[in-house]
Chains A and B, each alone.
Chain A
Amino acid sequence: MEKRQEYFGALAAGYFFLAAMGAMMFIVAAGLDLTGNAVAELINGWVTLAAAVVTGIGALLLTVELSKKMKFYLVMTKPSSLMGLGSITMSAFVAIAFVYSTTFFDFIPWYPAHGLRGVLAVLGIIAAVVLAAYPGLELGEARGRAFWNGSGLVPLFLVNGAVSGIAGVLLISTILGQAQSPAVLALGGGVLFGCLAVQAVLLAGYLMGVHSSGAEEGRRAVEAILRGSLSAKFWWGVVVSGLAVPLLLYLFGNSPALTVIKAILILIGCACFRCVFLQAGVRRSLPGEENEWMSVEEEAQLGLRLEQRWKEKETWLYGGNG
């Protein structure tokens, strides 16, 4: 039954992952900018451009998931639905992040446009928060899927998004040769360590909370994660790659090479986290749903018999002239 319920596939998981990563990369960069950190001038152009591109790729994945791709604009016509609101916010965010990034490149005519940059930083942070938070709210709305209904889902998604966003910023800062600047060191040190630790605690608490909530589908979901079909992705991806190894790497210092390895492992872990959480949201069973047994052949035979019966009835009623 679980297999038949997998309506959200890898593309949707990819979208949720990339959107949260892009949003959080922007929040980190704009935060550095608004607090007057000197490194912002050196990294923000590329970091926020990457945030826009990453989120844009996420939007593309979402569009690929639609069967009517040319009608993608309809998804933005009903802001009262969380998915509609998310799509509108995502489009606005990509535009804001892109224009914001241009204020850091000196070949752009309006460079450095400090006033515009400040306004866009604030607007972008607001859009990014909505973008990072809405998937948790959207899934939480699904009734009868206890695994997504926990109140801890939104904080967990936000912390996971923050972890992926910081990893993205670290990667780009290292490529730009800024891995050893004080702000980047602090980000990759205490801030990332703290976020990873909080994520580990929230994750364990969430799984235990859902498992003990009493809802049968919640228990089924946690079992699938810990011991069933999702266990490889969870243990190797989320736990080992996304949490344990990056935390262990703190024992070996903070060289740029280690930072890159840590960031890549974290991103793999965060992508697995989104896959696992989307696929685990199984529906509350209906009585007898495990026993669906009529084969297609039986169905076809029954259809023929019924058709024949109707013909007989028609002949009987109208003497074959119906």
Chain B
Amino acid sequence: MRWGMLIDLSKCIGCHACTVACQQEHRLQLGEKWNRVLRVGPYGKYPNLTAYFLPVPCMHCEDAPCVDGCPTGASFRREDGIVVIDEEKCVGCKFCMVSCPYGVRHYNEDKGIVEKCILCFQRLDNGEVPRCVETCPVNARFFGDLDDPESEIVHLIRKKNANPLHKELGTKPAVYYIFP
């Protein structure tokens, strides 16, 4: 079992509902985002211009540099592939923020620890899907087991030729994108 997500960028309208829903679910401070939505473009040559939106949560990498680099073992990978942070063990050295090539880790000044998207594992344990997946008004996000060849997410990844971000870095992300 390995939880993963697929985001269809041709559907995403950049409404930021997922960002805000995530902030509310995890009671984050204003300005702290575990799920940024970037606007790419417009690029191309006038009048053939293209732009799209790119949501960026933690990629829950299989070969996670943040986990390897953490000197206390606070950052670790669960059996189901979700990369989480043990608040008791995190000493706030911020080395994981340097190791993560996707810039998805945030330092929480008040708690003195590093935080990031945890794929709403507390909801998954209750049989629900992550809040961002539930909230997306255009159903641009799909969620499921990447190890199950029969799952909808695996079918879609194959059919739509989805790819992770910066695949060349070899971190084996669990978040895939259908690029427009």
Contacts and interface: CB of A to CB of B under 8 A. Distances in A.
B20 A143 contact: no
B19 to A, nearest CB: 8
Contacts of A300: 30
A197 to B, nearest CB: 32
Contacts of A84: 71-72
Interface in B36-83: 36-41, 53-54, 56, 65, 68-74
Interface stretch (A222-230, A267-275, A287-295): A287-295
Given A81-B70, A286-B54, A293-B39, A145 B20 contact: no
Contacts of A142: 65, 69, 98-99, 101
Contact of A286 (B17, B68, B102): B102
A5 to B, nearest CB: 7
A304 to B, nearest CB: 9
Contacts of B99: 141-143
Chain B interface: which size bin? 35 or more
Interface in B82-138: 89-95, 97-99, 101-103, 107, 112-113, 135
A291 B92 CA distance: 28
A287 B37 CA distance: 11
Given A81-B68, A286-B165, A288-B40, A306 B30 contact: no
Nearest to B92: A67
Interface residues of A, number: 44
Interface in B1-44: 16-17, 19-21, 23-24, 30-31, 36-41
A286 B72 contact: no
B163 interface: no
Given A81-B69, A296-B30, A288 B101 contact: no
Given A143-B101, A288-B40, A74 B91 contact: yes
Contacts of B70: 78, 81
B92 A141 contact: no
Given A286-B102, A292-B36, A294-B16, A71 B91 contact: yes
- 5 nearest CB pairs, A to B: A67-B92, A67-B112, A144-B101, A288-B40, A288-B38
